[in-house]
Structure formats: C-alpha cells, structure tokens
C-alpha cells in the first residue's frame, strides 16, 4: 500500500504540474493574440484556404489549408479566430512532449520539459501564427508518442492504424514532417528492441506515409517545379552557410525575448541563454552516461533530426525557421534531462526559469524572432496601411501584386482607425493581380478589370510583376508619380493622364510632400 500510495501521489503531482505548464503556455500564446494584423505567411494561409486551387502553385501540402477553411467557416476569420487553431496545436505539443519524456525518462523530466516548451520563445511564436508549423509539430509529437507506447506493448492493430494516420496527415501538412519520421526511426533503433523493426504494425505505421507520397507523386512533381521557380524568384529558403545564424540562433534560445529590452534585459537574456546552453550540455552528458535506453533515444531524436536538416541544407536550399522549429522539442528534452541532475531542486529551478522567460515573452511579444524581418512582425504593413489610409481618396484604385497579399492589406486597413475604409474586408476596393510563379510578368490587361480612376495605388511585395503592372497602368492611360519603400513592400502611385493638369500638379505636389 505505501508504494501504491506513493505512485498515486506521483501521478497526481505529474498531472498537476502538467496543468500548470499548460496554463503558462496558454498565457504566453494568448497574450495580445489579436493586436497585430496578418503577416505575409498568414496571408498565404488565408489565400490558400479561400482558393484551394492555389495549392498547385504552392510548395506546401494541402491538409492545413483544408482544415483552416473549415475552421474559418465555423469560427469566422478574425485574427484571433485564425490563430486559435495554432494555439491549440501548440498547447497539445506541450502535453505530448511531457508524455514522451515521462515514458522515455521520468515524470519529473516530463514536467520540466512541459514548462520549458510552454515558454520557449520560438515555439510560442510559431503557436501564435495562422500557419502550418504548430500543427505539424503537434502531429509529429503525437506520432512519436504513439510509437513509444507501441514499443511497450505487443502487436496492436489499432495503434498501428492511428500511427499510420498521424504520419500520413503529418506528411501532407508540412513536408518538414519528414524530420518526425526520422525521429521515429531513431527511437526504434535506440530503444534496442530489434524485434520491433520487423513487426508488421510498426511497418504499417512507418510505411504508410511513404506509400501515400508515392501515390501523390503528380502533386509532388508539380510542387517541385514550382519550388524551382520560386527559389529563383523568391529566395526564402537558403543553404546552411547562407542562413542568418546570428538571428536564428538567438531566436531559439531561452533569452531571446529579453534581448530586445533595455540594458538590464540584455543581461537577463545573456544569463538565460547561458543557463540554457549549460543545461543542454549537461543533459547530453547525462543521457550518454544513463544506462537506460530512453536517454539515448532522446539524444538520437535531437542530434539525428538536426544532422539530417543540416546535411540536406548543405546540398539543397532547404534551411528555414519552419524546418528548424521541428526539432526544437527534442532540444527542450535534452535541456530537461540536464535540469533533472539538480535532483529535488530541479523542478523549482525549472519553474522559476520558465516564469522569467515567460515574462520576457509577454513583455516583448512582438520583438522576436528576427527583429529585422517585417514579414514576421508586420510593422511595415502597419506603416504602409496607415499611409494608404491617410492618402486614399474616394474612387481611387488599389492594386495588390501578387494578389494573395491582399488579405494582409485588407486586415490592416479594416482594423485601422481611419473611418474611410469599411470594416467589411470584402467590400474594400482592392484588386489582386493574378499570382503566377511561372510567368510573373505576363500581360495583366486581359486578366484583370481595372476601373477608370484618377489615381491608382499599387502595393507590391519584393517587386513581384513590376514590369507587368507598369505596362498595365500605361496601357490604361496612367503615368507613374512616385513610390515609397517599406522594407520588402512598396507603395506606388499612378495618375490618370487625362486629369486636369493644374489639379494634377497640385495633388502630385501634395502627395510627394506626404510621401
């Protein structure tokens, strides 16, 4: 009885600790969730969920966009509603990581891992975006947990079906989910149960996504062609030696959000980052010296997936924050193993560490990751929308190129304080230039209907289809006036040539002084 009571108390303590970690994770992810407008990546998500045919011009699988379309139909498409799906996936990841750590290491390690992932800045940020990252990570952790449970049981057809389903859905949610498949294979190797490698249910669970990818080869071939063109036009992915390591390495540390505070914040950031590195090294040593196979499985998941990502990114331009964040949970597991070396003090230290990091996350919610990346923080969208709101006049055209970033502009204009724009986003006078990776400079005159207007405002991203838009404006009787750059965004003004010369010159002078 004493042992049974002790076990029950440990179970209750585990779930209480996990509940506190989940509450902390929710606080970090929900804080000011709907204050900012959509980022570029979120605009892509909304555009694809509205027009699923665009997926053929994408390099991303369709599952998330199908789910987002259903989510928007049920919960509307405000910023908070759009992001709640990722918030829920992020919280699910906290729970799943704790359960994995509990099975591979101990209950204490599971609670510590949950607290660390709850406040880890890069994961908090990913869980606050209406994008594929949070859902893909949650599916990967769910599949790994299912596999670990299967390793402790005899052949189980039900679990095999669940594992196969998770892996298939994961692969068609984000192709970086392949890192989760690598982690699953490494778990099988390092738990040293060789009979599992030939079990039929394991073969079904891990083989199903490979078979699904083979069946989807026509879609994959189309997306591969798109990727080749996209990388030449929009080099958003890089090889590993071209990556901005100074930004990304900082964003993945515990001290990331405090880095953007004043001088005292920089000291806190340095201390938190140093502690994270120390416990990571200690965790690596602890897992190596631990005779249990769970520790080696944890190491294999992190170092194996990180090595796979680094190797692939050396050969091909595949490195991105979205790929890196897929092995971040395994990084957290290693740190948690290092913290457990503090014995009874490990949990209080972990909770204190998580609370300090969470304070930085909440205080500096929009200053990470990547301070210079406007497509992440969207301050340039705020400036552009504010300027356009001030200068726009009744009857003006607004043309957005490429058309899918119109969703970002709609959100920023409809949530602005200017009363001249309707709060109904669909009624905003925005014309989207057709999006075509294969021929961005195609003739637009026969593809969009441009109403006659004294002025036309062009919002473009990375100079997409500039020549085609300029040709369209000239052919419709407009002439270029001036433009303003906002990082990778540009706001240009074209005027109708037939306008009264005097009035046009006065308006031009006023507009140039405003810009």
The beta strands (E) that lie in 12-56 are given as none
Q: Which of 421, 488, 507, 404 is nearest to 234 (CA)?
A: 488
CB 268 within 8 A of CB 255: yes
Residue 102, CA distances (Å) to 50, 107, 149 in order: 41, 5, 11
Other beta carbons within 10 Å of 106: 18
pLDDT at res. 377: 46
Omega prior to 346 cis, within 30 of 0: no
For the entire predicted model, the pTM comes to 0.82
Reported as type and span, the H/E element at residue 493 is strand 489-496
What gap in Å lies between CA 9 and CA 202, rounded to an integer?
34
- Tokens (6 digits) for 424: 């109904």
Instruction: Name the 3-class secondary structure at 460.
Output: strand
Q: How many CB atoms lie under 10 A from the CB of residue 82?
A: 25
**In the structure encoding, which two tokens stand for residue 117, read together?**
């992932």
DSSP character at residue 434: P
Total length of the chain: 515
Which phi and psi angles does 22 have, rounded to 5°? -65, -40
Count Cβ neighbours within 10 Å for each residue of 476-502 and write b for 16 or more, e otherwise.
bebeebeeeebbbbbbbbbbbeebeee
3-class secondary structure, 431: strand
Alpha-carbon distances of 384 from 1, 363, 379, rounded to whole Å:
68, 25, 9
Instruction: Give the model's pLDDT for residue 441.
Output: 54
User: Among all chains, which residue has been given the structure tokens 């062609």?
Assistant: 225
The tens-digit pLDDT sequence of the chain (515 residues) is: 466 666 778 788 899 999 999 999 999 998 878 766 677 778 778 878 877 776 666 677 889 999 999 998 888 777 888 899 999 999 999 999 999 999 998 899 999 999 999 998 889 888 988 889 999 999 999 999 999 998 887 777 888 899 999 999 999 898 889 899 999 988 888 876 556 666 777 888 888 888 888 887 777 777 776 666 555 555 555 555 555 555 556 567 777 777 666 666 678 878 888 888 899 999 999 988 876 678 889 999 999 998 888 888 777 666 677 788 888 899 999 999 999 999 889 999 999 999 988 888 887 765 544 434 433 445 677 778 878 888 887 788 888 887 767 777 776 776 554 555 555 555 667 887 766 544 555 555 556 677 778 888 888 877 777 777 888 888 888 888 888 887 778 888 888 886 454 454 444 444 444 44
Return all residues near 58 (Cβ < 8 A) that are at least 6 apart.
44, 48, 223, 226
Q: Is residue 490 within 8 Å of residue 399, measured between CB atoms?
A: no
- Per DSSP, 499 falls in state S
Name the residue among 293, 256, 219, 255 with its Cα closest to residue 59: 219
3-state percent helix, strand, coil for the chain, nearest multiple of 5: 70, 5, 25
Domain layout of the chain by residue ranges: 16-376, 378-514
Q: Tokens at residue 391, please?
A: 């200068």
- Residue 162 half-sphere exposure, CB side, CA atoms within 13 Å? 15
Burial category of 140 from C-beta neighbours within 10 Å (exposed 0-12, middle 13-18, buried 19 and up): buried
| C-alpha distance from residue 265 to each of 256, 356, 368, 372 (Å) | 10, 11, 14, 19
Amino acid 273: pLDDT: 84
CA distance 307 to 333: 17
Q: Report how far Cα 293 is from the mean position of its chain's Cα atoms.
A: 32
Helices (H), ranges, 290-405: 293-315, 321-324, 328-339, 346-363, 374-377, 379-391
pLDDT given at position 35: 67
For 456, the enclosing helix (H) or strand (E) is strand 455-461
Q: What span, in angstroms and rounded, lies between the C-alpha atoms of 425 and 420?
A: 12
Q: Which of 252, 234, 211, 203 is nearest to 59 (CA)?
A: 234
pLDDT of residue 31: 84
Question: Which helix (H) or strand (E) is 497 found in, with range?
Answer: none
């Amino acid at each position: 009885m004493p042992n049974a009571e002790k076990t029950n108390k440990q179970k209750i303590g585990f779930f209480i600790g996990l509940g506190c970690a989940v509450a902390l994770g929710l606080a970090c992810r929900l804080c000011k969730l709907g204050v900012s407008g959509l980022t570029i990546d979120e605009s892509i998500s909304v555009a694809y969920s509205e027009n699923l045919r665009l997926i053929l011009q994408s390099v991303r699988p369709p599952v998330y966009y199908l789910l987002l379309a259903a989510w928007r139909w049920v919960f509307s498409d405000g910023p908070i509603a759009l992001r709640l799906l990722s918030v829920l996936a992020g919280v699910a990841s906290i729970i799943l990581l704790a359960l994995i750590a509990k099975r591979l290491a101990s209950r204490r390690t599971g609670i510590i891992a949950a607290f660390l992932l709850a406040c880890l800045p890069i994961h908090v940020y990913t869980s606050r975006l209406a994008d594929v990252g949070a859902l893909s990570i949650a599916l990967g952790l769910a599949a790994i947990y299912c596999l670990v449970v299967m390793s402790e049981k005899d052949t189980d057809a039900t679990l095999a079906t669940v594992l196969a389903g998770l892996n298939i859905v994961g692969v068609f949610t984000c192709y970086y989910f392949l890192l989760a498949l690598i982690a699953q294979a490494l778990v099988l190797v390092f738990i040293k149960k060789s009979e599992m490698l030939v079990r039929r249910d394991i073969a079904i669970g891990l083989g199903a996504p490979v078979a699904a990818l083979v069946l989807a080869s026509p879609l994959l071939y189309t997306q591969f062609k798109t990727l080749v063109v996209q990388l030449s036009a929009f080099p958003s992915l890089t090889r590993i030696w071209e990556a901005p390591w100074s930004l990304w390495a900082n964003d993945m540390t515990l001290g990331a959000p405090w880095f953007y505070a004043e001088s005292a914040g920089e000291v806190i950031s340095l201390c938190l980052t140093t502690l994270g590195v120390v416990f990571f090294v200690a965790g690596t040593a602890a897992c190596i010296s631990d005779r249990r196979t769970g520790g080696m499985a944890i190491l294999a998941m992190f170092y194996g997936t990180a090595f796979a990502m680094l190797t692939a990114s050396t050969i091909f331009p595949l490195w991105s924050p979205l790929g890196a964040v897929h092995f971040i949970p395994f990084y957290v597991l290693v740190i948690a193993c290092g913290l457990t070396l503090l014995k009874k003090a490990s949990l209080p230290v972990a909770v204190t560490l998580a609370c300090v990091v969470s304070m930085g996350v909440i205080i500096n919610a929009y200053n990470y990751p990547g301070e210079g990346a406007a497509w992440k923080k969207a301050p340039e969208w705020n400036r552009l929308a504010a300027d356009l709101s001030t200068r726009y006049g009744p009857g003006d055209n607004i043309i957005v190129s490429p058309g899918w970033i119109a969703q970002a502009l709609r959100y920023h204009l409809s949530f602005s304080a200017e009363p001249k724009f309707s709060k109904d986003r669909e009624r905003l006078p925005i014309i989207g230039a057709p999006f075509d990776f294969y021929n961005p400079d195609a003739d637009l005159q026969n593809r969009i209907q441009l109403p006659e207007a004294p002025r036309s405002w062009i919002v473009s991203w990375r100079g997409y289809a500039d020549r085609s838009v300029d040709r369209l404006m000239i052919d419709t009787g407009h002439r270029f006036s001036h433009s303003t750059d906002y990082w990778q965004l540009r706001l240009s003004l074209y005027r109708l040539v037939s306008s009264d010369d005097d009035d046009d010159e006065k308006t031009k002078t006023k507009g140039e002084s405003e810009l």
